[in-house]
Structure 1
């Protein structure tokens, strides 16, 4: 039997590996063509006259892509630099091209909506507490850490500008104001070199479209503006890079995929799941709220639910309320099934304490120690037979 299971698992693994390999190989050949074309164009423009001729060899380029030395990222950065030379405002087409990892197809109307997002301009940054409180009030998210949007720093004298984005604006901006961010690049050294009052801070709150990645679109729009001269990188960072920790939420038997993200923080921010609770269930493989399973593996056979992220968050909130009502008082509590010996009616209690309270409400003198002795025995306790839910056969046939 184990040989059959092993053989089946091996075949399944081989099928998945073959699909991924074919997809990856086709993707690599696509970027070999794109990259080799851009390399030839650069050569014609005289960017690198001493370039080794072997760099145009498609086979060598393919291996460089596999090894991560060239490919999609480098190609996108070249596209962004070429757009900067044009000097025109970014279009939906170029934004969609530069943000393949965001799974977003921005339209002209959507871009206009983003550009008219609620914003806040702060010219006096001397009091950090007042600044952060003002951001909270304006965003309408007082008491929450999840505030997505972009921020633009502008030097009052030189006009130097820097743009960035974050799904947690308060945390990011607090680091700038308190100067706790690591000194790197062009912007932070300049920000720390003089008083914070030399700068203005403009914030765009991205909340109307309801997708946590739309701040990347708005940031990318301004990154293609040459006036933002303090930004060294012109393509928004891919959140699914080496620092990402993909996570997926399924039902108990993993037949339905409810949600997946390249970052654990999205489960905390978007679904209001406690970090400690999330880590515990991911590590132990236990069921969240008794209904959901977290895993880092993709299950190809699972059906992808079309539930909206907001609806899913509301669903989890209702599940939490029901679970907190029914869950045991402590880890030592035991669920109990009482079966009336006369009516055969069954009642389920999620803790020994609640079962004892029920018996006392009937006028019986009950206590937990005696109740434990009666569990899964044939002895009657105040007119009831007592079972644990795991003994389903006993519950179904109490006689």
Structure 2
């Protein structure tokens, strides 16, 4: 049975999945972020921003969700919504499907809403409801057809979260599906994330484990998983979130290994670009089989106690003031990054793990030291692949500098929301506030998305 459902404002309306009626009161919608400039010349400590905690607090409060509430949750993701846009989004019609979709009529309508191909289609929001318990899950996608194919092939998926294990145990027939296709003439892909965020702040969607959307995953950054010779392409992903869902690779882990020349579990290379000499036959190994292979390698490293213990090499350069001259030019081997950090700290050089990891990934010297992962973990013929990775990173950095040199920047903070024409203008403005900010540190703040003295920096 196919039933078109309407979500309308200021009237008694059927809840999208329940039989009882609810009264939606969309009154007193909050204002969007103020453009009034309030700032202090004194240096303040960074505000600790925890959107997931804010979302849970809002859900538990029972307060209505307005545009200002959503903007607060998405403060560090360069997204916001106005009252009028949110109102328009909430008027979008939803279409309910019984699962699995088997009738010709249902398949035709499903294709009209999602697209006929996983590579070309429509964006929007989808919801699953477990019929026996009423538990609900909401998500969004820039390609609804591809996302639905992902769920419909649940047998091949890793069993993370709450939805997928239930799908595997009880099958599609235990659920109903609701689709919200957004009109591309009125809305953008990011509006789908806004609508998803609205529903995530509703306690009824208790199958979602995360209550704040991740705008980064919609950017579609390609990632490739190769063997150590880059002759075999095991997997191509469109985002870090996909790698987490499909192969149980944490986004921070992906960030560490991507384009770093460090083998993941000593078996795989993660690159953000295709290697032309590689075989691109991605169908030789199923996702399930690849996950099993990775899990086996992880298990081996856990058993040996070496999963996080990758041997590193510390080069001592000439002119190093932390050691005596007779150590200049020597290379010290350590069985792990931790032991290397302990050595540096024993000399009085304070070094955080994340900082040293960044230096290693960019092959940057610090205090006349150079730290890198040992070549012993790489195959003998890796030199050529290493050169390819280096050349790509160099060209990427040059392109990024040229692209972002005069790109507008959006800076947000408490009662602060200003767009600057360029990075230079941003630096000059904060310099006038006695807040030190140079180009290098600004790049880092843009990259990690973390607050600096209470301000968030994003490209417009």
What TM-score bracket applies, with the shorter chain setting the length?
Answer: 0.3 to 0.5
Between the two structures, name the one with larger relative contact order (CA 8 Å, sep ≥ 6): 2
TM-score (norm 2): 0.38
TM-score (norm 1): 0.43
Q: Which has the larger radius of gyration?
A: 1
